[in-house]
Amino acid sequence: MTHLVPVILSGGAGTRLWPLSREAAPKPFMPLPDGETLLGKTALRAMLLPDVRGLVTVTNRDYYFHTKDVYAGLGEREPRDATYLLEPFGRNTAPAVAVAAQLIRARHGDDAVMLVLAADHLIRDQASFASAVSRAMELASEGLLVTFGITPTHPETGFGYVACGEALGGRAFRAAGFVEKPSLPRALELLAAGTHVWNAGMFAFTAAALLAACERHAPAIAQAARTVWQPLASRTDEAMLEIDAATFASAPDMSIDYAIMEGAAAAGEVAVVRGEFDWSDVGSWQAVSELTAADADGNHGLGERVAIATRGTFIHAQDRVVATIGVENLVIVDTPDAVLVAHRDHLQRVKEVVGELKARGHEAYKLHRTVARPWGTYTILEEGPGFKIKRIEVKPGGQLSLQLHHHRSEHWIIIRGTARVTADDRVFDLPAGESTFIPVETRHRLENPGHDTLAIIEVACGDYISEDDIVRFEDRYGRVAG
Amino acid sequence: MTHLVPVILSGGAGTRLWPLSREAAPKPFMPLPDGETLLGKTALRAMLLPDVRGLVTVTNRDYYFHTKDVYAGLGEREPRDATYLLEPFGRNTAPAVAVAAQLIRARHGDDAVMLVLAADHLIRDQASFASAVSRAMELASEGLLVTFGITPTHPETGFGYVACGEALGGRAFRAAGFVEKPSLPRALELLAAGTHVWNAGMFAFTAAALLAACERHAPAIAQAARTVWQPLASRTDEAMLEIDAATFASAPDMSIDYAIMEGAAAAGEVAVVRGEFDWSDVGSWQAVSELTAADADGNHGLGERVAIATRGTFIHAQDRVVATIGVENLVIVDTPDAVLVAHRDHLQRVKEVVGELKARGHEAYKLHRTVARPWGTYTILEEGPGFKIKRIEVKPGGQLSLQLHHHRSEHWIIIRGTARVTADDRVFDLPAGESTFIPVETRHRLENPGHDTLAIIEVACGDYISEDDIVRFEDRYGRVAG
């Protein structure tokens, strides 16, 4: 019996859902109104399918630890046998899928079916999704490249479309062609004709079929994937594989649709399965706002809100109370360091805000006030001349690097859990309520030897307090050089 | 030569300019876009007049230290011989003015002219203001009660009006009557007639004339003012006088216009001086927004802003970046614990937000995240289960009470200045960068022996962390019992 290997492609620019998504924590990692992430939901959706073995995640190396954290957060449903292909930079979907196919052919054989999923799409109807995947597996096992289509409900100009040709039975068709994002008149035609479906950006094929199609239609990508895979092939037991930057750069920056599927469709090698499930690419605040129920005035959102004479407005209130008076059809998103107030009709311009902040050198385009690290997170509570206050949370077993600062001393106050502190030659444990002082030039390390989260308040004092005043001697996460 | 004693009436509910004004820090204390407060500007305006001697401030006792801080902030212009009449609760303007008249008659004599000013009005043309006050002094010295009128520029329904009667020369008229806040048709009539001016809520009269008019037109208030003054009369050197609550409660809760001026006008005892100065009661966010210059799109405000397709919008950005897209005619006010997004046409409903927060028991109706104390300020940076982090700033010479907590220990880290710490029997000084630990049940005190502000970070840890776990042994500001 053929088995299924889900491949999650995860990344993004963090621009369309700013300020909740940021460059360093793009859409897959963004907490939705229910508190879960799109990445977590995607992994869970894949894990719940029958005949699944393993999980391959292709993502930027900067997101590796964050991704593992999200999977660990699934508890019992945490993917077993997860493998990570880490990109040095984004190169669109075709090279990512080709390298993943090399990995899957090597580890699972020619006939394993890869199910390629975007990390930041939302599907709620698991049964219909599973049914579509099951049909796709049958077609993939016949050697076809399978894409998934969604029946259009409106003349959307933001998605690509797939033309349905010869019926293959079981809601499947041979793909007669691909249409890039259409103009509105063309989208209206496609909607009226009923012959086209939205291209959902999900695919199923055997590794062998994909690689063969890649050789035929995108030989430069096939070549790059082979070269990238070569040094990794012998590392058969490793879960984390870094893609070589120089080789990867030689692969054309192309989507799988454009590089492979269009040509394959013309050769009659592509099938499309019409999904009956709901599907959203959560591409704007409009889509996020629709995830919460509206009240009688059409207002929705989460957090502490006071809405007076307010209609059709979505409010994401995080730590603060948000009050509105006499406004209509707004999206208001409040985060610890940035607030967005946008009219629903202009949400596609959110990325311009991010561009402007980037141009100004304002950190809010990139980082949240809470920053994810391999060992946990830190949150800057306040900084001023001569001091910086952080709350540092360390995961059970987590360990910061052994380090030293030339220009700042640090006071650590334990507020939850137990801290193991290294300060030069001494190593000692501190429970909640205790504190210690790390003078300048002291080699120090913080770790969490316990089974619960460790939280400390760090007050750094000195005339120069910047992340670059750090000398790392030893780092479990390989950051000594970096 | 007669001299002038300014009397500033200071208080307010903190509702119309929420979230920048709060019940504990109402409009007079609110920082304007230029960083100054209306109270400070009012005191300065009074101090710059000729022939001024002393300054009487009538305010709630809760605002005493905050008021002194604002005056001290005027530096060289800090009012000398400032006297404070502290109310136990608000009783409108008539009782406040009557008690102030008792004080001024006792300390300055029958002929001193009181100039009664609201603490939260804005006048920028000092020369015209001084000229109007000079004319008012002449009329007051003749025994008249003088009010100030502003020539209407629009049919305002939010102000009272004064009818100008017989011309007295020098832009003064006998007041022919008072009109309460009119309907819009009536306001249009008054504007067209040109016979009425806005009642600016400022007055000039001798203490003797005011008290005599009070006896005739509001005998219950006159009686209460006499009784309140009796025990204070002998305290001739004291700058801070607390008004007795039981007696004060017996005074009718009435405005000076309604209780005294209307009757006195009917008896021909009131003059009105038409001011040529600009005047604003800064009664809404609209008025505050007009204090900043607009850009080409009619947007204005302060702080870090990104405005895309935005028009006519005022943004007060405090610690965060505020981004707007596709919005028009909004007022957006961002503070550390609350955000307001209101349409300009609905700003009179801001007080409904405050009412709603009060009903919910949400602290943001009352307190800012930074709270003023006699010795300085504290700001809550974060709190969570088992801990609370504050930045505490102590004025030069300031001293917190000698106190003890049963349920929390405190870590203090000095980030600016030098701290003098008392911990049981020990007293020691700590410079910036140092820290100390105050265990539970330890009598402790923090003070600032230096000439610059002292700033510390306090991390309190314990199973019960609330302001009510405090035993005060000794307090320079009289708070042991309270």
Q: What is the pLDDT of residues B283-326, one digit of tens each?
A: 899 999 999 999 999 999 999 999 999 999 999 998 899 999 99
pLDDT of residue B480: 61
CB B133 within 8 A of CB B49: yes
A350 contacts in chain B (CB < 8 Å): 325
- Pick the residue from chain B with its C-alpha nearest to A414: B461
- The mean pLDDT of A114-136, rounded to a whole number, is 97
List C-alpha distances in Å: A256 to A94, A147, A178: 4, 11, 12
3-state secondary structure A356-392: HHHHHCCHHHCCCCEEEECCEEEEEEEEECCEEEEEE
Report chain B's mean pLDDT, rounded to a whole number.
Answer: 94
User: In this structure, is the dihedral angle defined by the CA atoms of residues A352, A354, A359 and A360, taken in order, positive or negative?
Assistant: positive
- The answer to whether the CB atoms of B349 and A309 lie below 8 A apart is yes
pLDDT value, residue A482? 37
pLDDT of residue B183: 95
pTM as predicted: 0.90
Counting one residue from A and one from B, how many pairs have CB atoms under 8 Å apart? 177
Residue of B nearest to A461 (CA): B433
Partners of A460 in the β-ladder? A388, A410
Cβ pair B339:A346 closer than 8 A: no
Does the pLDDT at position B1 exceed 80? no
Enter the DSSP assignment of B231: G
Q: Among A203, A304, A305, which residue's Cα sits nearest to residue A257?
A: A203
The amino acid sitting at A309 is: A
For A56-114, write each residue's pLDDT tens digit.
999 999 999 999 999 999 999 899 899 999 999 999 999 999 999 999 999 999 999 99
| Helices vs strands, H then E, count in chain B | 12, 27
User: What is the percent of chain A with per-residue pLDDT over 90, rounded to a whole number?
Assistant: 87
Supply the pLDDT for residue A80: 86
Nearest-Cα residue of chain B relative to residue A436:
B435
3-state helix, strand and coil shares in percent for chain A, rounded to the nearest 5: 30, 35, 35
Q: In this complex, do A338 and B347 lie within 8 Å of one another by their Cβ atoms?
A: no
Q: State the amino acid at position A408 in one-letter form.
A: R
Q: What is the pLDDT of residues A256-302, one digit of tens each?
A: 999 999 999 999 999 999 999 999 999 899 999 999 999 999 999 99
State the burial class of residue A351 (Cβ atoms within 10 Å of its Cβ: 0-12, 13-18, 19+): middle
Contact assignment for B432 to A386 by CB distance below 8 Å: yes
pLDDT at res. B476: 85
User: B414 to chain A nearest CA, in Å?
Assistant: 9
Is the pLDDT at A393 greater than 60? The verdict is yes
* B459 chain-A contacts, CB cut-off 8 A: 413, 415, 435, 457, 459
**Given an 8 Å threshold on Cβ–Cβ distance, is A330 in contact with B343?**
no
Band of pLDDT at residue A481, cut at 50, 70 and 90: very low
Give SS3 for A22: strand
**Between vectors from CA B445 to CA B442 and to CA B446, what angle results, nearest 5°?**
135
Average pLDDT, chain A: 94
pLDDT tens digits along A186-238: 999 999 999 999 999 999 999 999 999 999 999 999 999 999 999 999 998 89
What is the amino acid identity at position B186?
R
Which of B325-339, B360-374, B426-440 bottoms out in mean pLDDT, i.e. has the lowest? B360-374
Longest dimension (CA), chain B: 76
Q: Which of B218, B173, B230, B221 is nearest to B197 (CA)?
A: B173
pLDDT tens per residue across span A411-457: 999 999 999 999 999 999 999 999 999 999 999 999 999 999 999 99
Task: Please state the rounded mean pLDDT for residues A355-366.
Answer: 91
Under an 8 A CB cutoff, do A461 and B364 touch? no
Q: Over range B369-394, report the average pLDDT.
A: 92
| d(CA B411, nearest CA chain A) in Å | 8
Q: Where are the beta strands (DSSP E) in B122-160?
A: 145-150
CATH 3.90.550.10 segments of chain A: 4-275
* Residues of B in Cβ contact (< 8 Å) with A389: 381, 389, 457
Name beta bridge partners: A220. none
Q: Would you place residue A45 in the very low, low, confident or very high pLDDT band (cuts 50, 70, 90)? A: very high
CATH 2.60.120.10: which residues of chain B?
A: 370-474
Interface probe with B: pick from A284, A391, A461, most Cβ of B within 10 Å = A461
Provide the pLDDT for residue B225.
96
CA distance A205 to chain B (A): 43
Express each pLDDT in B151-160 by its tens digit.
999 999 989 9
Q: Tell me the percentage of chain B whose pLDDT exceeds 70.
A: 99
A113-118 and A4-9: which strand pairing? parallel
Partner-chain contact A323 B413, CB within 8 Å: no
Are A461 and B413 an interchain contact pair (Cβ–Cβ within 8 Å)? yes
Do A325 and A4 form a contact (C-beta atoms < 8 A)? no
Helix (H) or strand (E) holding A222: helix A219-232
Q: Which residue has the higher pLDDT, A385 or A338?
A: A338
CA distance A340 to A333: 5
| B349 interaction partners in chain A (CB closer than 8 Å) | 308-309, 325-326
Please give the Cα distance from B161 to B261 (Å, whole number).
Answer: 12
Could you say which of A324, A326, A409 has the minimum Cβ distance to residue B345? A326
pLDDT at A480: 61
Min Cα–Cα distance to chain B from A307, Å: 8
Say whether B321 and A364 touch across the interface (CB within 8 A): yes
pLDDT, tens digit, for every residue of B435-474?
Answer: 999 999 999 999 999 999 999 999 999 988 888 899 998 8
Query: For position B482, what pLDDT does the model report?
Result: 37
Closest approach of A278 to chain B, Cα-based (Å):
29
Secondary structure class of B313 (helix, strand, coil) = coil
Homologous superfamily of the B4-275 domain (CATH): Spore Coat Polysaccharide Biosynthesis Protein SpsA; Chain A (3.90.550.10)
Higher per-residue confidence, A1 vs B393: B393
Residues of B in contact with A411 (CB under 8 A): 411, 413, 435
Please say if the pLDDT value at position A479 is more than 90. no
**Mean pLDDT, to the nearest integer, of B250-276?**
95
CB distance A8 to A117 below 8 Å: yes
Chain A CA closest to residue B344: A326
B367 contact residues in A (CB cutoff 8 A): none
B173: pLDDT strictly greater than 80: yes
**Which residues of A are less than 8 Å from B346 in CB distance?**
308-309, 325-326
**pLDDT for B481 beyond 70:** no
CATH number of A370-474: 2.60.120.10
Q: Residue A471: what residue type?
A: V
